[in-house]
């Protein structure tokens, strides 16, 4: 994928991040650390290419790609917890649970999952029936 596609995805992840001014500050920072340091975006790139190939308009394809990346990132946060791998570092930074505590890490991961569901629904809800049917197969 071209470098501009990566920057397009990074911008979309930032735009769709599940934080706003009313978010509790520690939770906002934990979400920011999780969502603000994407890895290689392999899953998101594949989804973006496949979604556009199958006729989703670019904004809908971006939402679906962000949803997949949010699901993946949440799974990493859960995997890093002390009850699982008890990892110390993820993507060059201390793991979220080490910086903000286990409760904030869990809530941040759940927030990403919920945002992922909302984005996936939004990406597909306005699509023609044939696209929605194919996506459900």
pLDDT in tens, 62-99: 999 999 999 999 999 999 999 999 999 998 899 999 99
- 122 close to 64: Cβ distance less than 8 angstroms: no
**pLDDT band, residue 1 (cuts 50/70/90):** low
Q: Considering only the C-alpha atoms of the chain, give the largest distance between any 2 of them, rounded to a whole number of Å.
A: 46
Q: What's 100's domain CATH number?
A: 1.10.600.10
Across all residues in the chain, what is the average pLDDT?
91
User: What residues make up the domain containing 94?
Assistant: 3-135
Q: How many domains does the chain have?
A: 1
- 104 close to 77: Cβ distance less than 8 angstroms: no
What is the per-residue pLDDT for 114? 97
Tens digits of residue pLDDT in 18-38: 998 899 999 999 999 999 888
């Amino acid at each position: 994928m071209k470098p501009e596609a990566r920057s397009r995805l990074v911008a979309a992840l930032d735009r769709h991040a599940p934080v706003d001014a009313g978010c509790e500050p520690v939770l906002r920072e934990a979400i920011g650390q999780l969502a603000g340091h994407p890895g290689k975006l392999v899953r998101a790139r594949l989804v973006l290419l496949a979604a556009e190939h199958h006729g989703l308009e670019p904004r809908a394809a971006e939402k679906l790609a962000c949803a997949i990346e949010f699901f993946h990132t949440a799974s990493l946060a859960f995997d890093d917890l002390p009850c699982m791998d008890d990892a110390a570092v993820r993507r060059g930074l201390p793991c979220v649970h080490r910086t903000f505590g286990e409760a904030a890490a869990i809530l941040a991961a759940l927030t990403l999952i919920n945002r992922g569901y909302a984005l996936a629904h939004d990406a597909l809800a306005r699509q023609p029936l044939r696209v929605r049917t194919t996506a459900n197969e």
